Amino acid sequence: MEHTITTQKVKFKVFRFNAEEDYLPYYDDYEMEVTSEEVVLDILNRIKWDHDGSFSYRRSCRHGICGACAIKVNGRSTLACKESMNDMVELFGNELVLEPLSKKRAIKDMVIDKADFWDKHAAVTPYVVTDVDEAPEIENLVSPHDAEALDEADLCIQCGACHYACPVVEVNDDFFGPAAFAAAYRFEADVRDESESRLMDVNQMGQGVWDCVKCFECKEVCPKEIDPIGKITKLHQKLFQEGKAESNVATRHAVGFIHSIAKRGVLDEGGLVLYSEGPAIVKHLPVAFKMFTKGKIPMPWQLPKSDNMDEIKTLVKSSTTAKF
Amino acid sequence: MEKLRYALFTGCTAKQSTPEQMMSTLAVADKLGIELVELTEASCCGASHLQDYDEFLSLVLNARNIAYAEKHGLTMVTICNTCQLNTAMTKHKLDNNSELKAKVNEKLAEVGLEYKGTSQITHFLYAIIDDFGLDKIKEMVVTPLSQFNIAPFYGCHNIRPSELQNETHKTPESAYRPTSLDDLIIACGGQNVDYEEKNKCCGFHVELQAPKTAAILTGNAIAGAMDGDADWMVTPCPLCHLKLDTQTHHASEAIGREVQLPVLHMQQMLGLALGCTPAELGLKHHVAKVDFV
């Protein structure tokens, strides 16, 4: 089949900021004929080479391996060397906004300070912890079956696309973020690893895996299809399976569903909050009162119950695999 | 057009903290001539939390819910984004992993049920758009919402992950440029408000463990809609509704700005346009008062 290269006109609004000179960022406008062969990185190159040599961005491998060139296009985290311009135009139309992954961390144009990303990466002990035999007689082999457990978490190129797309990272500087959790999972799942502390490090409230909002942004933007939220879920499960999940509001919230389902099939919403919060439930009373006055909290005798509860009770009893 | 029939999975909130959602769903279905067969046997979907503790149990319970829709030979329709995600994700996993499907069916057999994979799963929003059709909605509008700027709030679990969208919906929409709610607003005669936060997270799922994070996300969403000059917001997700409607005090404190807007369920907006009464739509059940009707 004949391959035809097409062109189309695209307007670009490009974020500009030099931390050494500018008080506020501004945007430059460019209009270009873009070909169907080009990726976003080609546009960054053309801005620098054809329009303004001072324009700055990171790039290196051009093959989706180094992770240097991630930016945002119309708010979507994108690995510039991998993302086709055709797809971007199809998604957003002919007016595209090019911005750094994080505007608040911009140093110069598309170049950001990724120190927070690397600090969080380092904080999850991103390496195998084990006693190494310095003179092994045979190779330390990992079977294909055991390697499968990594679930491709080791394909992360640390581009930061998921990290700076994460809404929690945006509002909580302490939150480890999806990339660090994917790294934590990668080494937790490694059969050679003997770390005692990594899982507990990501188990923290306020920065750990329990603060993930489950919005799937990280899965959506990952250019290597690593599914960071899937790894976060596996870390949650691992904490329970290894008996390391401390009793706190987050862990009780996950476990509370079973109690509610076994009792009524559907949730007892108030009961779930009480089980999760314990005595701290009093802080919810003002909101609960408002809801009650609007008919949003049923009385205990009005709580719904699923039909065929015997089936649900049987299944909860026979299918539960976890213990808390 | 043949009468549309669905197996209705209500989820938990429609029977408790958002009774108005149940009322408005039934009212709208009645107006549109859609028959809903309520799955009264269904259990909670696990709401994206149960699987953190016990993934297998979560799959078994969701498979049981779908098995009941299959018994009716109907497409399951959900009215909660998170129910939609958990149910559709279970279907995806079981339909693509015969070993897992067999394990789940082994459990379901204990109660005389089987998951076959024959029922589709869709959200009421998409049933209306894909099956009923926006053109027909436009024809049926008796009270156009033309005086209102309405801010759509999509909620994460209807639009992400895209791969699930792509296989679940007849006309999948972009996670970054969703259109379904905007299209429905326009079909109802309203003006849709475009704002950055419309496809962002409301923070519901960390309300208990990370209240500050949750409050900031809620506050930003309402503030975005207010800055877009919205008169009110609309959402297809009762969990987003709960955050946006009931948590405005915390949200205002968290972002240092007073934020509040009426937040309607998608069904309530449609119901208003179709001529349902405020009582039928349960508009008195909102914390942020709906005082424009």
Q: Distance between CA atoms of A131 and A193, rounded to whole angstroms?
A: 9
Å between B47 CA and nearest CA of chain A: 9
A94 contacts A11 by C-beta, under 8 angstroms? yes
Å between B275 CA and nearest CA of chain A: 23
Chain B residues with CB under 8 Å of A219 CB are 160-161
Furthest CA-CA distance within chain A: 74
List phi, psi (to 5°) of A165: -95, -15
Cβ within 8 Å of residue B261, ≥6 positions away: B151, B222, B225, B226, B230, B231, B232, B233, B244, B288
Chain A residues with CB under 8 Å of B200 CB are 167, 215
Chain A residues with CB under 8 Å of B155 CB are none
**Choosing among B39, B40, B52, B194, which should be mutated to test the A contact, i.e. which has the most A CBs within 10 A?**
B52
Banded pLDDT at A305 (limits 50, 70, 90): very high
pLDDT value of residue A53: 98
Q: Encode burial over A43-70: b for 16+ CB neighbours within 10 A, e otherwise.
A: bbbbbbeeeeeebbbbeeebebebbbbb
Q: For chain B, say whether A75 makes contact (Cβ under 8 Å).
A: yes
Contact B43 A306 (CB under 8 A): yes
Banded pLDDT at A1 (limits 50, 70, 90): low
Q: Distance between CA atoms of B243 and B149, rounded to whole angstroms?
A: 21
- The beta-carbon neighbor of A236 closest among B52, B204, B286 is B52
CB-based contacts of A66-69 (< 8 A; 24+ apart in sequence): A66/A157, A67/A157, A67/A158, A67/A159, A67/A160, A68/A159, A69/A41, A69/A44, A69/A159
DSSP H or E stretch at residue A264 = helix A249-264
Q: Distance between CA atoms of B137 and B151, rounded to whole angstroms?
A: 19
Å between A174 CA and nearest CA of chain B: 11
Q: For chain A, say whether B1 makes contact (Cβ under 8 Å).
A: no
Contact A304 B16 (CB under 8 A): yes
* pTM score above 0.90: yes
Q: Distance between CA atoms of B162 and B165, rounded to whole angstroms?
A: 5
Å between B127 CA and nearest CA of chain A: 23
Q: Distance between CA atoms of B121 and A71, rounded to whole angstroms?
A: 35
Nearest CA in chain B to A232: B52
Chain B residues with CB under 8 Å of A213 CB are 156, 201, 203-206, 210, 213-214, 217
- Percent of chain A exceeding pLDDT 70 equals 100
- The beta-carbon neighbor of B177 closest among A91, A214, A324 is A91
Tell me which residue has tokens 């939220």.
A229
What are B97's two structure tokens? 């992993």
Average pLDDT of adjacent 10-residue blocks, chain B of 293 residues: 93 97 98 98 97 97 98 98 98 98 98 98 97 97 98 97 88 91 98 97 97 98 98 98 97 98 98 98 97 86
Please count the CA atoms within 13 angstroms of the CA of B107 that sit on its side-chain side: 26
Contact B51 A233 (CB under 8 A): yes
**Choosing among A311, A313, A314, which should be mutated to test the B contact, i.e. which has the most B CBs within 10 A?**
A311
pLDDT value of residue A197: 96
pLDDT value of residue B90: 98
pLDDT, tens only, A171-195: 999 999 999 999 999 999 999 999 9
**Choosing among A76, A229, A267, which should be mutated to test the B contact, i.e. which has the most B CBs within 10 A?**
A267
- The beta-carbon neighbor of A171 closest among B108, B110, B213 is B213
> Residue B245: what residue type?
D
Å between B45 CA and nearest CA of chain A: 8
What are B21's two structure tokens? 């959602």
Tell me: cis bond preceding A144? Omega within 30 of 0 counts: no
- The beta-carbon neighbor of A253 closest among B40, B162, B208 is B208
What are A122's two structure tokens? 């380092």
Q: For chain B, say whether A240 makes contact (Cβ under 8 Å).
A: yes
Q: What is the mean pLDDT of residues A80-90?
A: 96
pLDDT value of residue A321: 83
Cβ within 8 Å of residue A245, ≥6 positions away: A203, A239, A251, A324
- The beta-carbon neighbor of B107 closest among A171, A298, A319 is A319
Furthest CA-CA distance within chain B: 56
DSSP at A11:
E
Neighbours of A258 (CB within 10 A): 21
Å between A304 CA and nearest CA of chain B: 7
- Of B148 and A131, which is predicted with more confidence? B148
| pLDDT reading at A259 higher than 80 | yes
A180 contacts A208 by C-beta, under 8 angstroms? no
Chain A residues with CB under 8 Å of B175 CB are 220
- Helices marked H in A125-243: 144-148, 167-171, 178-188, 198-201, 217-221, 228-241
What is the three-state SS of chain B?
A: CCCCEEEEECCCHHHCCCHHHHHHHHHHHHHHCCEEEECCCCCCCCCCCHHHHCHHHHHHHHHHHHHHHHHHCCCEEECCHHHHHHHHHHHHHHHCCHHHHHHHHHHHHCCCCCCCCCCCEEEHHHHHHHHHCHHHHHHHCCCCCCCCEEEECCCHHHHCCHHHHHHHCCCCCCCCCCCHHHHHHHHCCCEECCCHHHHCCCCHHHCCCCHHHHHHHHHHHHHHHHHCCCCEEEECCHHHHHHHHHCHHHHHHHHCCCCCCCEEEHHHHHHHHHCCCHHHHCHHHCCCCCCCC
Tell me which residue has tokens 């404190």.
B253
